[in-house]
Amino acid sequence: MIAKKAKARRKPRGNVEGLTARQVRVIPKILGAKTCEAGCEAAGISTACFYKWMQDAGFRTEFERQRDRLVEAAMGLLLQNVNRAVSVHVELLDHSDARLRRLSAKDLIDYYLKHRELAEIEKRLDAIEERIGR
């Protein structure tokens, strides 16, 4: 009977092959929480149980897939608002408060320099990879 129960527990649920219904239900709760501990508590499991499940390749793969989807959605929202954020910084350059003007100018310069630095690093890395035949 125990073998039957274990086998029944591992039936696929939806498109998630090899996970239990409970495992499928807890993933969004853990990902939606501020901390892993809070997510486990909301999901009704211990953190030890979560870490044990993370050792299972199927669970870890599904957890990472759902986490990646959340990150992609967040990055999409971020990208949609970059122009607005830059516009706010540019508007602050004309603010009556000299401190705000200075901070905004500093931020814009810092962002530009960081972008230039990363572009230079990427260019150098591409040249190295080309030399070693990647």
* pLDDT cut 70: percent of the chain above it: 88
Count other C-beta atoms under 10 Å from residue 14's C-beta.
Answer: 8
* Whole-model pTM over 0.85: no
Domain total of the chain: 2
Tokens of 124: 């150098």
Same domain, 90 and 68: no
Computed from CA positions of residues 48, 71, 69, 122, in that sequence, does the dihedral angle turn out positive or negative? negative
Same domain, 67 and 99: no
Same domain, 74 and 90: no
Computed from CA positions of residues 29, 22, 36, 64, in that sequence, does the dihedral angle turn out positive or negative? negative
Same domain, 90 and 71: no
Domain span at residue 70 reads 2-79
Same domain, 52 and 72: yes
Same domain, 33 and 74: yes
Tens digit of pLDDT per residue, the chain (134 long)? Answer: 444 444 444 444 445 778 999 999 999 999 999 999 999 999 999 999 999 999 999 999 999 999 999 999 999 999 999 999 999 999 999 999 999 999 999 999 999 999 999 999 999 999 999 999 86
Same domain, 59 and 97: no
Same domain, 53 and 103: no
3-state SS, 38-78, equals HHHHHHCCCHHHHHHHHCCHHHHHHHHHHHHHHHHHHHHHH
